[in-house]
Structure 1
Amino acid sequence: MKITATIITLNEERNIVRAIESLRCCDEILILDSDSTDRTVELAQNLGARVIESGWRGYAGQKNWAAEQATYDWILSLDADEALSEALEAEIWSLKKRGPDCDAYTMPRLARYLGRWILHSGWYPDRKVRLYHRAKARWCGDVVHESVHADGRVGHLEANILHFTCDSLSEHVKSLDRYTTLAAQDLVARQARIGLWRLIFDPPWTFIKTYFLQRGFLDGLEGMIIAYMAAFYTFLKYSKTRNMS
């Protein structure tokens, strides 16, 4: 079992070294870059990664195209702001040694937000299919919220992918603005109708679900911020959808 790790990038010099250095269990590291203007490409090449530069196809399209360019059939897809934990790296080494018994594998994702690891708030375990045979699985999703859909048997790894999210509230607000625009475009493309009642009731419900039902209160101040931001995300997404329609 040989694995190609794939990472799509755009101006990720802050993250790319950490991501690549966590991939010692992979036999090839492939970076698909979309015209970065910082040192992303230089840093990746210095660490021995194979870099291909190509225009943007959307998140799912970009990740599928990266998988098609891989030398090996087994793909480990990582985002630039993620890294394998040492425990997950050891688990993948063990899987390679004994050989796969499934066509794709999920793994839990543990997020670091404002300097704190988030264990609740609907953010964990947040299992994702990230290791897969490219003949049996592919990325789906037109605009945002892309995910891997596997046709074969799906197994489960136990150790974490580490997700290094926002270091500041300003960074979170900027990200939220970008992703709510993409989400609204997706809703408009699907001709979704957003009534005024959803603008009124869905944001507070999102806060209640995140902070209380998903136990965000156990994540301290950061959990409260996540719940408020989740509610604001819902409000912006629906507001932009109505404005675009």
Structure 2
Amino acid sequence: MKITATIITFNEGENIRAACESVAWADEILVVDSESTDATRDIANDLGARVLINSWPGFSKQKQFAVDAAANDWIFSLDADERISPELQSSIDELRETEESQLADGYRVSRRAFYMGRWIKGGGWYPDYQLRLFNRRRGHWGDRVIHESVVMDKGGRVMTLHGDLLHYSMRDPDHHRRMIEERYAPLGAEQMLKEGKRTSTLQMTIAGPLAFVRSFILKGGFRDGRAGLRIAKLAAHHASLKHSLLHRLQNRN
């Protein structure tokens, strides 16, 4: 079982070293960079990664570009702000010694997010399963605009690996808010429109409060204390903004 670890990047100079070191075990590390203006490519090259440059086509398409360019059929897709835990590393090591006929077609992993210096367990943030290790002959990246995921062929067998993928995406609430306003809400509205969804004045009004209740109460965000409260408030902001942007898009179209 030979594995290519793929990482897509844009100005990830602060993250790329740790990301590459996290997958140093891979038979190939492939970094697909969308024309970074910092030292991302130089750092990746110095660490032995194969680096390709591809103009930004969107998350799913960029990740699929990396899959298609990989030297091996087995792919582990890692985001630049993610790291592999020792437990997950051990699970992957065991898989690599397994007979091909005994392997599933894809493997999902639990993702552990860190926020305000702590592991977030509530609010729907954990275990946040992600299908990240897969055979490209049996799966591919879907076409979602945001929250992209691997789609397995019909009949593809998926199993779960032991150990977490560690996620360090949100540095603080201000960074979280910027990500919502600059990426998640606009792309989320675009995805909803693509799926034929519509919103209304009523939905725009209640989306925020409902998101807060879902995150903080129904999904246990209160167990994470101040961090859980911050996350719930920003979930409300995200939902309200996404519906507002969707309303503009649907009226424009």
CA distance in 2, matches of 1:91, 1:168: 31
CA positional deviation for 1:24? 2.7
CA RMSD of aligned residues (A): 1.1
Distance 1:182 1:30, change over 3 A: same
Counterpart among 159, 164, 173 of residue 168 in structure 2? 164
Q: Secondary structure at the match of 1:157?
A: strand
CA distance in 1, matches of 2:122, 2:196: 33
Aligned partner of 1:172: which letter? H
Q: Deviations over 1:81-115 (max 9, x none)?
A: 10111111111011101235200000000001121
Q: Secondary structure at the match of 2:4?
A: strand
Q: Which runs of 5+ in 2 are unaligned?
A: none
CA positional deviation for 1:163? 0.4
Which stretches of structure 1, 4 residues or longer, exceed 6 Å deviation after superposition? none
CA positional deviation for 1:46? 0.8
Report the count of equivalent residues.
245
Q: What is residue 15 of structure 1 aligned with on the other side?
A: 15
| Structure 1 segment 32-111 matched on structure 2, within 5 A | 32-99=32-99, 101-111=103-113
Counterpart among 238, 241, 245 of residue 240 in structure 1? 245
CA distance in 2, matches of 1:140, 1:81: 21
Q: What is residue 192 of structure 1 aligned with on the other side?
A: 197
- Is 1:127 the counterpart of 2:111 in the alignment? no
Aligned partner of 1:225: which letter? R
Q: Secondary structure at the match of 1:87?
A: helix
Counterpart among 152, 161, 170 of residue 150 in structure 1? 152
Q: Which runs of 5+ in 1 are unaligned?
A: none
CA distance in 2, matches of 1:96, 1:15: 26
Q: Given that residues 58 and 142 in structure 1 are in contact (C-alpha distance below 8 angstroms), is that contact kept between their aligned partners in structure 2?
A: no
CA distance in 2, matches of 1:142, 1:214: 25
- Is 1:29 the counterpart of 2:29 in the alignment? yes
Identity %: 42
Distance 1:7 1:191, change over 3 A: same
CA positional deviation for 1:243? 1.8
